[in-house]
Structure 1
Amino acid sequence: MAQSSGAEPEDEMAATGGEDTVDDRIIEQGAIVFRGYVVEAMRTDNPDVHLDSEDLGGRPQEGQDPQIKEIVQHLLVIADELNRNAELEHLIDTVEFDSAQDLFFTVARKIFDDGINWGRIVALFHFGYKLIYKAITCNHSDIIRKIIGWVLQFLRENALRWIRAQGGWEAVQAQFQSLSWHSVAIFVAGVLTGALVCWKVSS
């Protein structure tokens, strides 16, 4: 008879399909968090633009989970700080869509040049959002879902193993609670500004 308790984590993982299942869940949660962030940030930055998760390839009401909502709210507080950074805003304003995919992956790789942490993942999300915001305001809405795909592709290929090792997206809440918003925003702004400057110099 199978025991009803005491299973090792590896056994539980195997029973549900192994690491692939866990990884798929992490990426799906990341997608919901990112889409939720984009929707709420757009609502704050430009209330005239109506955007929902379905416009971004998601499902209706997918971001209603309290945990997802809390993470999104953390991201919005950091975004509010980032929007006050004139240098970062100027760099993002200079972005063109002629080679958007190359731009995104070049900047994303620079963001993670010195390793992975939650602050760098926030920087990736904020950059992805800013590209989406610019696409919408510059009548390039056709590229929005592509940007969503690039963010998730980069996460899967470069940060997934690290996120899993931290315990998934649940761990980001504890990380945010242990730091001041201002400190996180300063770190994110520095990383993202540096990445954009490197892109401009090399382009």
Structure 2
Amino acid sequence: MSEGASGDAAGVNAGAGGVATAGGEDSAGRAVRRGSVSDHINVQAGQLLRRFILDRAESETETVGPAPTLEELGGSPAEQEDKGVIEVANCLRLIGDELDRDQKLQEMIRNMPIESPRELFMRVAIQIFADGTFNWGRVVALFYFAYRLVMKAYSRQLLDIVKTIISWAVDFIREHVIQWIREQGGWHLLADERAIQNLAKAQSTTTISLSSSKQTARLEGPDCCLPCSKG
């Protein structure tokens, strides 16, 4: 398949999930032009990350404190009404639940410094994909790490940093991961049970080394190989 044909197919698939089928804004509020598959996927990344953060924060208020609002994360109310976002977010949640059960990871995150968040985020993000392997589990590992950094900043009322962390995550996806997502057919694949059942059953394992804290943790999450609920 030619690059143009591949792009056309990805464009159809990227819109099929209903997450974003027209122009919009990325995580920093920048307008994206209509018709670009990669731009649509990038808009979706911001929407899904915000939904992922809200879902996890609202379910963990006893341990992480009050949940931020969608507006505080830089989102808009329309995102919560998009069924495509909800369906894909349900699948992201399954992988996030696995990370919640990783006690070594949780201990590392609790002890993470927040003084240099960009340096910390970039070091971890690069490490997640350091071996050149891409799968949905690792993408969600990136989301999960961004979520925990966001909640650490939010608990200290560092609202500007909250939005900035989300922007870092979306920018990283655009620069390093978006081509792989495009090749899969877009984010909506995670809400397609037939595609999910055909995915190789694999465990995503990433070792994250944080030299500043002298700790190592493992991010483990299934490559979304289980059928996802539609509710």
2:81 aligned with 1:64: yes
What is the deviation of 1:78? Answer: 2.4
Q: TM-score, normalised by structure 2?
A: 0.70
**Residue 118 (structure 1) aligns with:** 136
CA distance in 2, matches of 1:11, 1:33: 23
CA distance in 1, matches of 2:167, 2:117: 13
Please state whether the residue corresponding to 1:52 is helix, strand or coil. coil
Query: Could you tell me the percent identity over the aligned residues?
Result: 32
Which one has the largest radius of gyration? Answer: 1
Please state whether the residue corresponding to 1:163 is helix, strand or coil. helix
CA distance in 2, matches of 1:131, 1:64: 26
Task: Provide closer, same or farther for how the CA distance between residues 113 and 66 of structure 1 changes in structure 2, counting only shifts above 3 A.
Answer: same
Q: Aligned runs of 1:25-44 on 2, under 5 Å?
A: 25-44=40-59
What is the deviation of 1:165? Answer: 1.2
Verify the 8 A CA contact 2:96 2:141 in the aligned structure 1. no
Cα distance per residue 1:136-170 (max 9 Å; x no partner): 22343331001000001100110111111111111
Amino acid at match of 1:98: E
**Residue 160 (structure 1) aligns with:** 178
Amino acid at match of 2:54: V
What is the deviation of 1:201? Answer: 4.1
What is the deviation of 1:80? Answer: 2.3
Verify the 8 A CA contact 2:73 2:162 in the aligned structure 1. yes
2:107 aligned with 1:93: no
Please state whether the residue corresponding to 1:149 is helix, strand or coil. helix
CA distance in 1, matches of 2:145, 2:181: 19
2:145 aligned with 1:127: yes
Q: 1:49 aligns with which of 66, 82, 88?
A: 66
CA distance in 2, matches of 1:172, 1:120: 13
Verify the 8 A CA contact 2:50 2:73 in the aligned structure 1. yes
CA distance in 2, matches of 1:199, 1:127: 17
CA distance in 2, matches of 1:96, 1:10: 41
Q: Mind listing any 5+ residue stretches in structure 1 that lack a counterpart? A: 1-7
CA RMSD of aligned residues (A): 3.1
Q: 1:21 aligns with which of 36, 44, 48?
A: 36
What is the deviation of 1:119? Answer: 1.2
Q: Aligned runs of 1:164-179 on 2, under 5 Å?
A: 164-174=182-192, 177-178=196-197
Amino acid at match of 1:107: V
CA distance in 2, matches of 1:138, 1:103: 17
Task: Provide closer, same or farther for how the CA distance between residues 90 and 50 of structure 1 changes in structure 2, counting only shifts above 3 A.
Answer: closer
2:93 aligned with 1:80: no
What is the deviation of 1:37? Answer: 0.7
- Which structure carries more strand by proportion? 2
Verify the 8 A CA contact 1:107 1:199 in the aligned structure 2. no
